[in-house]
Amino acid sequence: MTRCLEAGLPVASACSGRGACGKCVITVLHGAEALQAPTPHEAEVLARNGAGPDQRLSCQCDPEGAVDLLLTTGYW
């Protein structure tokens, strides 16, 4: 979430980035290999919200190094 905010993108959130609300779901269109696998907590929240395999919580994933990611979400 921090990197999205730093890039000037709006991020939906009701939990202040704690990964509890699931409102910040993003769809990773390119560059998913640069992200660590979801933690059990993130996987649980994603499953509870019916997220697809290419979706992540922006507040819980952080790319490793300088990478190009292409993301989208329903609220942008």
Tens of pLDDT, residue by residue over 40-59, are 999 999 999 999 999 999 88
Number of structural domains, the chain? 1
Identify the pLDDT of residue 68.
Answer: 84
Q: Model's pTM, two decimal places?
A: 0.83
| Residue at token pair 């009701």 | 14
Tens digit of each residue's pLDDT (9 = 90 or more) over 7-28: 777 788 898 888 899 999 999 9
**For 41-58, b where at least 16 C-beta lie within 10 A, e where not — what string?**
ebeebbeeeebeeebbbb
What's 33-46 look like in SS3? HHECCCCHHHHHHH
Q: d(Cα 21, Cα 38) in Å, to the nearest integer?
A: 16
CATH number for the domain that contains residue 49: 3.10.20.30
CB distance 41 to 19 below 8 Å: yes
Domain with 12 in it: 2-72
